[in-house]
């Protein structure tokens, strides 16, 4: 198969999961062409693959006006239908619809690129504006498309029914998102595949030389420095645990807009000697930090999380996880078996879990073993990419059969 793989503003620091899936799809025999809405705007990316994928990626903005105009000229009737599609986005304001009409040129560029590269299907990793581009390209005569929903629909704009109705299938990162799709479509929807963005569990593994029996509990969080990741709750909980006699060293891997506020909270709690902000890190460095830790902590709040990749990586490295109940974490973590689930913003519950793991080495090790086993059985990218490959193959086959019937 020849697949187009569309990720907005690719590559970015959080996009390692997409690159892993691309490599797995290619290993299965697919030709995967990278597509993005536009080049990342001023974002740093520490991963080793950044130069390679940047040179491989076709960017839809700015579009090739020659290619786009040629597509729209050849498909003038379909261009009218595409404009009618935008006009029918009645959940959006008039201004939003006007802006969305400009996506038509990008969609036409995508159709021209797909034709030039012989792409049979476009898979889109966004349910926001990029999904509208996919829907518009399909109206303009482009290949079938599918979409992955990575978090709650509420954070991905409006007019979901319009942008998703034409999809060959929808991937949902968690059963809670499948329920949201079912509610949005009511009577019928495109086929839904409940899935996740897997990891290489052969690469992310525990370090046998790690010493976890000493008196210091080494805690780690790998997440961008954003309010939604709940770092302030981690700091409050760690202060509480330390006040109860627990010796903790806390490493935060990541960077972001909340760095100054987090630094202020560290100072307010008097944790300057306990908390280490190491900044943004590439995949190899993240693995090293995980292998040096005893416990992984993710106190995220609000909406947006699905299957946190950071949790998968930590579990694959044999770390018990303390996580808030958010997105699909209840289907990843079995409470008190391979980690702890706590309510969002519950600093006391986090502190209690930290204290228990610090004082019970046997529990910590037992949970770590269970976490590693669960990760290898459920989170490997070869399994998740295989499911996506099969779904795309089915969509391509159905499209070919439909065209054959039309010709007959």
**How does residue 46 score in pLDDT terms, banded at 50, 70 and 90?**
confident
**pLDDT score of 404:** 82
The whole-number average pLDDT for the span 255-284 is 96
pLDDT surpasses 90 at 112: yes
pLDDT band at 331 (very low <50, low <70, confident <90, very high): very high
Task: Kindly give, in sequence order, each residue whose CB lies less than 8 Å from that of residue 95, ignoring residues fewer than 6 positions away.
Answer: none
Q: Comparing 112-121, 133-142, 249-258, 297-306, which segment has the lowest mean pLDDT?
A: 297-306
How much of the chain is helix, strand and coil, in % rounded to 5?
50, 15, 35
Q: 129-139 and 103-117 are packed helices; what angle lies between their axes, rounded to 10 degrees?
A: 60
Q: In this structure, how many other beta carbons lie within 10 angstroms of the beta carbon of residue 20?
A: 22
Does residue 214 surpass a pLDDT of 60? yes
For tokens 């019937």, name the residue.
405
With a cut of 90, say whether residue 248 has pLDDT above it.
yes
Mean pLDDT, residues 157-165: 92
Q: What percent of the chain has pLDDT over 90?
A: 87
Q: Is the pLDDT of residue 189 over 90?
A: no
Alpha-carbon distance 362 to 346, whole Å? 25
Other Cβ atoms closer than 10 A to 258: 19
**Size of the chain, expressed as the number of residues it contains:** 408
User: Residue 77 pLDDT > 90, yes or no?
Assistant: yes
Please state, in angstroms and rounded to a whole number, the distance separating the CA atoms of residues 10 and 57.
8
Distance, CA of 298 to CA of 222 (rounded, Å): 8
pTM of the model: 0.92
Q: Going by C-beta distance under 8 Å and a sequence separation of 6 or more, which residues neighbour residue 303?
A: 151, 152, 154, 155
Q: For residue 376, what is the enclosing H or E element? A: helix 361-378
The CATH number of the structural domain formed by 216-378 is 3.40.50.2000
Distance CA 355, CA 353 (A): 5
pLDDT at position 317, please?
96
| Cα–Cα distance, 306 to 308 (Å, whole number) | 6
Q: What is the mean pLDDT of residues 173-193?
A: 87
Q: How far apart are CA 374 and CA 333, in angstroms?
A: 9
- Where does 292-346 have alpha helices with state H? 309-316, 329-332
Fold that domain 2-198+381-407 belongs to in CATH: Rossmann fold (3.40.50)
Burial of 135 from C-beta contacts in 10 A (0-12 / 13-18 / 19+): buried
When pLDDT is averaged across residues 100-124 and rounded to a whole number, the result is 97
- pLDDT (tens digit per residue) in 346-383: 999 999 999 999 999 999 999 999 999 999 999 999 99
Asked whether the beta carbons of 35 and 113 are under 8 A apart, the reply is yes
Please compute the mean of the pLDDT values over residues 130-154 and round it to a whole number. 96
Give the number of other CB atoms < 10 A from CB of residue 399: 15
Q: At 33, phi and psi to the nearest 5?
A: -105, 125
* Domains of the chain by residue range: 2-198+381-407, 216-378
Rg (CA), the chain: 23
Same fold, 2-198+381-407 and 216-378: yes
Predicted confidence (pLDDT) at residue 209 exceeds the cutoff of 80: no
DSSP designation for 345: T
Contacts of 70 (CB under 8 A, 6+ apart): 112
Instruction: Give the rounded distance of the alpha carbon of 51 from its chain centre.
Output: 21
pLDDT of residue 43: 65
């Amino acid at each position: 198969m020849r697949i187009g793989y569309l990720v907005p503003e690719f590559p970015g620091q959080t996009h390692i999961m997409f690159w892993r899936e691309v490599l797995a799809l290619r290993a299965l025999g697919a030709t995967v062409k990278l597509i993005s809405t536009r080049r990342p705007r001023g974002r740093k990316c520490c991963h080793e693959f950044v130069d390679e994928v940047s040179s491989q990626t076709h960017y839809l903005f700015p579009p090739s006006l020659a290619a786009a105009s040629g597509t729209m000229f050849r498909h003038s009737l379909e261009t009218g239908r595409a404009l009618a599609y935008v006009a029918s986005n009645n959940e959006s304001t008039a201004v939003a619809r006007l802006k969305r009409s400009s996506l038509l040129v990008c969609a036409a560029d995508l159709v021209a690129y797909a034709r030039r590269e012989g792409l049979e299907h476009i898979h889109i990793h966004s349910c926001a504006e990029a999904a509208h581009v996919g829907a518009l390209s399909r109206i303009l005569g482009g290949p079938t498309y599918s979409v992955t929903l990575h978090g709650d629909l509420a954070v991905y704009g409006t007019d979901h029914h319009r942008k998703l109705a034409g999809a060959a299938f929808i991937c949902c990162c968690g059963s809670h998102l499948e329920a949201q799709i079912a509610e949005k479509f009511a009577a019928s929807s495109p086929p839904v595949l409940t899935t996740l963005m897997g990891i290489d569990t052969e690469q992310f593994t525990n370090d046998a030389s790690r010493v976890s029996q000493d008196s210091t509990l080494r805690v780690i969080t790998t997440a961008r420095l954003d309010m939604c990741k709940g770092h302030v709750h981690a700091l409050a909980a760690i202060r509480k645990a330390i006040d109860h006699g627990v010796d903790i060293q806390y490493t935060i891997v990541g960077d972001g807009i909340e760095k100054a506020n987090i630094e202020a909270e560290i100072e307010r709690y008097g944790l300057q000697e306990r908390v280490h902000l190491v900044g943004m890190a590439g995949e190899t460095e993240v693995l090293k930090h995980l292998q040096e830790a005893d416990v992984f902590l993710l106190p995220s709040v609000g909406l947006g999380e699905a299957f946190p990749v950071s949790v998968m990586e930590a579990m694959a490295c044999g770390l018990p996880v303390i996580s808030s109940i958010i997105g699909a974490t209840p289907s990843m973590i079995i409470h008190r078996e391979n980690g702890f689930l706590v309510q969002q913003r519950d600093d006391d519950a986090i502190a209690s879990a930290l204290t228990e793991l610090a004082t019970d080495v046997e529990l910590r090790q037992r949970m770590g073993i269970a976490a590693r086993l669960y990760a290898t059985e459920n989170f490997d990218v070869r399994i998740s990419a295989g499911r996506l490959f099969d779904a795309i193959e089915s969509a391509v086959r159905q499209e070919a059969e439909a065209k054959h019937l039309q010709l007959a």
